[in-house]
Structure 1
Amino acid sequence: MALIILIIGFAFIIGSTFLFIEIADDILEDEKFYIDQVVQDVMESARDTWFHSLMETITELGSVPILTIATIVLVSYLFLFKKRKWEAIFFGINMVGISLLTKGLKLIFQRDRPEILMQYDGTGFSFPSGHSTGSIAFYGFCIYLVARSRWKSRTKWLCNSVLSLLIVLIPLSRTVLSVHYFTDVLAGVSLGLAWLLVCIFGLQILLWRRRHHHFN
């Protein structure tokens, strides 16, 4: 079972990385994506609706201030109260790493946004979507922590269902609010997923080696 999970995980890393590179390559060549226009036209019809208002709230859960505060709180909790040092360290690496990757790539590609809307953090460059990379990294790692916890199965399922929903809705909100192209979001999700899995695999390998060394 562990081998199957490992193979699937590496397949996701490779697939996500490949998808990001494909989109990034086209953006470097200043390609225009038909799907971006289609999604923008569809999302335009959602303006002034309850769904648009909901997305205005949801998008805040992927903002830099919220994720930064939540990361500091969770890392401190894991390190100081749960004494799970390595999980805390890798959580920190996960979030700091994805932040640096996203900022660096934005400076490299310098893609303009569909619209500049400061009230939705719609400033700066567009590619890749920082809300998408950050939410995948943060809430994805939370899913991993919940899965490894000793909570009851029903509680785990409920928590991870909510976290998974946020992972879908936060990136979606960026296209609904017209501050990102669909390809910005797709690339952000791909990059965030690849980085998240690399960090989780790194942590799992470290924990396995420590347990193996302890038993020997």
Structure 2
Amino acid sequence: MATARELAQDVRDIARGALGLLRQNARLAVLLAAALVFMLLLEDVTEGSVLRLDTMAYELFVVRLRSDALTPLMEGVTSLASVVVLAVMAAVIAALAPGRAPGWCVSVNLVGVVALNQLLKFIVQRPRPDGFRLVAESGYSFPSGHSMVSMAFFGLLIWMVWRFHRRDVMRVVWCVVFGLVIVMVGVSRIYLGVHYASDVLAGFCVSIMWLVLYTRVVAPPLLAADAPPFSPDDGARPE
């Protein structure tokens, strides 16, 4: 019995140590996981394989869920990652968010991720889905630009809210809302027939890797660590 108890205690100690190591290296774990998923997708795409993920997503979002009532909603959702909408939101953030240069923070983030998306599309050159598009789009398909932009922009907002918002329930609410926007923008691209699911997932992974580095290196100097808490609905930048 003593041996069994000692073994159980050893297992618990190992588990605690592993969890502690994961917490201390959370950024690295997220970075490696996103990179692994992206590389697996990239390998299949460059081989010209038809991914099971793409087939399943087509069956769900295109074959089963498409309807005259849902299509306008999806078109509205996909516009949340458009240049006009994000430019307006960036201007609001520049006026209300804390830090030395929040406007520069979101702007550099957007410009960088758009440039990265165009570079990856040029390298991979995957054609877009054909035959079931509901909106006109040009350019290559992999990775999805809307998905990358939504993850980079709203993901940065999640990081900012979690870092600077006062510790209350609204901090969680805002993060959940922005997270849902990211997911729904990706879903809308599949629904509208302009991207494969693998394009969307790859876009998310690339932007997650980008954000891990961006929020470590670039964002902190532009957003002072000692900035006062703020809320996206405060209506004024805190003094």
Q: Which amino acid aligns with 2:71?
A: H
Unaligned runs of 5+ in 1: 212-216
**Identity over the aligned pairs, expressed in percent?**
29
Superposed displacement of residue 40, structure 1: 0.9
Q: Deviations over 1:144-169 (max 9, x none)?
A: 11112243512212211211110111
Q: Specify the alignment match of 1:195 in structure 2.
A: 210
Distance 1:96 1:76 in 2: 19
| Aligned-residue offset at 1:203 | 4.3
CA 1:2–1:60 in 2, change beyond 3 Å: closer, same or farther? farther
After superposition, residues 83-162 of structure 1 pair within 5 angstroms as: 84-85=99-100, 87-115=102-130, 120=135, 122-151=137-166, 153-162=168-177
- In the alignment, does 2:70 pair up with 1:51? yes
Provide the secondary structure at the position in 2 that maps to 1:122. Answer: coil
Do the aligned partners of 1:116 and 1:122 also contact (CA within 8 Å) in 2?
A: no
Q: Which residue of 1 aligns with 2:39?
A: 21
Answer yes or no: is 1:9 the counterpart of 2:27.
yes
- Check 1:142–1:205 CA distance in 2 against 1; reply closer, same or farther (3 A cut): closer
Question: Is residue 82 of structure 2 the alignment partner of residue 63 of structure 1?
Answer: yes
Q: 2:170 and 2:162 mapped to 1: Cα distance?
A: 10
- Matched AA of 2:149: G
- Per the normalisation by structure 2, the TM-score is 0.75
Q: Which residue of 1 aligns with 2:51?
A: 33
Query: What stretches of structure 2 of length at least 5 have no aligned partner?
Result: 1-18, 227-239
Q: Which has the higher helix share?
A: 1
The one of 201, 221, 225 equivalent to 1:186 is: 201
TM-fit CA distance, 1:18? 1.7
- Indicate whether 1:170 and 2:185 are aligned: yes
